[in-house]
Amino acid sequence: MGATNKARLAVLASGNGSNFQAIIDACEDGRLDAQIVLLIVNRPSAYALERARAHGIATQVIDHKAHPDREAFDAVLAEAIDAAHPDWIIMAGFMRILTDGFVNRFLGRLINIHPSLLPKYPGLDTHARALGAGDRAHGATVHFVTPTVDAGPPIVQGQIEITPDDTVERLKQRIHGIEHCIYPLAIEWLIEGKTDFDRASAQTNPAVVDASGAQIVPPRP
């Protein structure tokens, strides 16, 4: 895409927004031919708002506590996203389980990152579960969102070796580092047409990269 036709990204976040920052950096340094047109947070105290303001990115707070149920919240969220006309909707630490109707409305354009090598350890406490199982490797997965939580087609995974001195907190920080590598990479592949929902659904295994960003396992169609 040219400078006047950049991919439009809407980002959803709930907290600190470190993955959001990684995507901002990738847009600003030219790794992504994209612009972030809107940040939406569901928590008014989310630090991601400060990151957006520092870079001149439009923001909107849609507090889930102000809505009676998930359906009502998701309806307002969907309207805000549609008004921004994004090509991709990027979940960056958005701590909400979305309704099937919302997910299906944006199916194929809604992307998330999860801190495990899916299908291992969907849900919470992934780092403790990996350590408790005695795993030798751990990582993160960028995937398309489907109605079943953490079960959508994977785009790319980042993998690191677990070391003897890893604690839950240390492993969490190390996984954050690889998340910041693979999330912009996955968005780049989407923008450049190297993958899409159908191709990701059809592949046997996703591409896997190490902490340096080097690809160690290519995707297998």
Q: Identify the CATH homologous superfamily for domain 114-221.
A: Formyl transferase, N-terminal domain (3.40.50.170)
pLDDT digits (tens, 9 = 90+) for 146-171: 999 999 999 999 999 999 999 999 99
- E strand or H helix that includes residue 202: helix 197-202
Domain extents for the chain? 1-106, 114-221
Interval 30-42 mean pLDDT: 98
Indicate the average pLDDT of the chain: 95
Tell whether the model's pLDDT for residue 216 goes beyond 90: no
Q: Are the beta carbons of 127 and 136 closer than 8 angstroms?
A: no
Q: In this prediction, what percent of the chain has a pLDDT beyond 70?
A: 96
Both tokens of residue 13? 């976040």
Say what the pLDDT of residue 204 is.
85
- Fold adopted by 1-106: Rossmann fold (3.40.50)
| pLDDT tens digits, 95-143 | 999 999 999 999 999 999 999 999 999 999 999 999 999 999 999 999 9
Would 1-106 and 114-221 be classified into the same CATH topology? yes
DSSP string for residues in 105-173: HTTTTEEEEESSSTTSS-SS-HHHHHHHTT-SEEEEEEEE--SSTT-SPEEEEEEEE--TT--HHHHHH
Give catalytic residue positions.
114
